[in-house]
Amino acid sequence: MKRVLVTGAAGFLGSHLCDRFIKEGFYVIGMDNLITGNMENIEHLMALENFEFYHHDVSNYVHVPGNLDYILHFASPASPIDYLKIPIQTLKVGSLGTHNLLGLARAKSARMLIASTSEVYGDPLIHPQTEEYYGNVNPVGPRGVYDEAKRFQEAITMAYHTFHGLETRIVRIFNTYGPRMRLNDGRVLPAFIGQALRGEDLTVFGDGSQTRSFCYVDDQVEGIYRLLMSDYPHPVNIGNPDEITISQFAEEIIKLTGTDQKVIYKPLPKDDPMQRQPNITKAKEILGWEPKVDRKVGLKITYDYFKSLPEEKLYKKEHKDFSKYNK
């Protein structure tokens, strides 16, 4: 039985990846320090014989007994509301965490895939974004802690590939959504649905003309899996190129939820990207991948998930108290 380590296993994407590898017949080792992850996302796996969980911070030395075939590094805060509160931890998991896992991959002769992000492109000056674009990132702005952690993560991963001959893969993930997202994680899709379910006005930052491209989680996981199993070591965009403005998206959510809230506008946060759309030519050509789930279908599934949450979760404003991590 092939063995895979998934870091960030209790997070949104990490938990869906654990599900996929279990389904494919792997022995899955999940690892998470639970700073932003939630054990509820993987509790359905805990009783399985081919799943085990380590409560561990990969920014510290990582030891996993036995052989490993694959490592997927998905440990990192991923929403602005988190990484602005825990900036040092965000930088450490992208740098020290990646270094520790690359060392583990080398010791185990494992193939390692890192979760990079469309944020490496910053507020892009070309559109849509291709993998060859170097980006327009402010390293000392508030979002720099996440953007630069991911850019460093790519650089050290490629260095291990070229210098040590390690088998590595780099996925640049664009906006992804689906069940197990946190309602209050600061990203536009759960924020809008949460506001609609609570009867609040929908908050748009800026004038609403900025764009995003939303990929349903099953499509994202399929793209990641295909990239891991490919022989392509360079970055690949995985996302849905179906672009929409935030104002149009707000109207979609109001229609989906059957609510009649107003849309209110607030100032745009510093360095918030105005356009986000992947060029997925490489994914199509190299992996034979493109998204299949229509946004209307994916949003309905996601909305039903959020609607099923207990009221205390719907009205919970703070995800976690990060004070113990920031001493």
So which residues are the catalytic ones? 146
Of all helices (H) and strands (E), which one includes residue 55? strand 51-55
Q: Which tokens go with 211?
A: 């764009």
Vertex 138: Cα angle to 133 and 140 (nearest 5) = 145
Distance between CA atoms of 246 and 240, rounded to whole angstroms? 15
Q: Which tokens go with 78?
A: 């991923």
Distance between CA atoms of 150 and 88, rounded to whole angstroms? 13
Q: Which tokens go with 255?
A: 């229609």
**Is 224 in contact with 285 (CB distance < 8 Å)?**
no
Question: Among 96, 84, 93, 212, which Cα is nearest to 144's?
Answer: 84
